[in-house]
Amino acid sequence: MVTAGVVELPPSIEVLSLQETSITSHQFHRIKHKFPQLKTLYLSALKKLVPTSRLPPSLQKLSLHPGHVPDERKRFMYNDKCLEDIGLLRHLTRLNLFHVNLSNEGMRKLKDLGLVSLQIVGGMFEDEGLAFLPASLVSLRVSRAKGVTDHIPSSVERLGLAKVGHVTAEGIVRFLRASNAPRLQLVVEKTMQSALLAVPEFPGARVHLSTDKHLFYERGGCGLYYC
């Protein structure tokens, strides 16, 4: 549990991790002013709304995790509503979301952020999936998330690294054709193996099944991996 002792830490702290706490909005406000150099904040199993308006403006990286709750229905941090307003996080460059459900509205707000890196593990998308991504994004990693659809954002052309899991074979093909990323890694399901092996050759690319039973799509240093 977080106590008043948190604010007794030196103001030069740049990384802070809060787990299983009932930290209040007022305590977030105190943290904001106590740690003017805070750059990374890890929040796990919080029991209250995250007041994004009271997060330090110096913050560059934010990680959200619902914690290890046996019954998913009892998880507080179950969707992007756990954040007061994602749109207020314009100062962030890195955002990691673990088992957080993302609404279309939440994804639209993410699009307006200046994120360089976005990682989404678990959780679920609404019907528009990855249709909205920040134009500034360089690194995208999505795994074990449900609802990733064939909506492929134009911003994939600018990605330096993309890793996406659990998309349809058709979506993968569209993703590959749309992206000019120098490094591209997509994780696919076993059921897509035959469909992806039938993908027409792209210039400088090859699709094959490796000896360790991983499916690769390669374009230069790029790869499509089945695991």
Determine which of 10-14, 60-64, 117-121, 169-173 has the lowest per-residue pLDDT on average.
Answer: 169-173
pTM of the model: 0.66
Confidence band for 124, pLDDT divided at 50, 70 and 90: confident
* Higher pLDDT, residue 210 or 188: 188
CATH of the domain at 132: 3.80.10.10
158 in a domain, yes or no?
no
Q: Which domain holds residue 116?
A: 4-149
Q: What's the structural domain count of the chain?
A: 1
78 in a domain, yes or no?
yes
| E-assigned strand segments in the chain | 15-19, 40-44, 61-65, 94-98, 117-121, 139-143, 161-164, 185-188, 205-209, 215-219, 223-226
34 in a domain, yes or no?
yes
Instruction: State yes or no: pLDDT of 40 exceeds 90.
Output: yes
**pLDDT above 70: percentage of residues in the chain:** 45
Identify the helix (H) or strand (E) that includes residue 31.
Answer: helix 25-34
Write the pLDDT tens digit of every residue in 153-178: 544 444 555 555 555 555 556 665 65
Is residue 201 packed enough to be buried (19+ CB in 10 Å), middle (13-18) or exposed (0-12)?
exposed
63 in a domain, yes or no?
yes
The sign of the dihedral angle between the CA atoms of 194, 199, 201, 204 is: negative
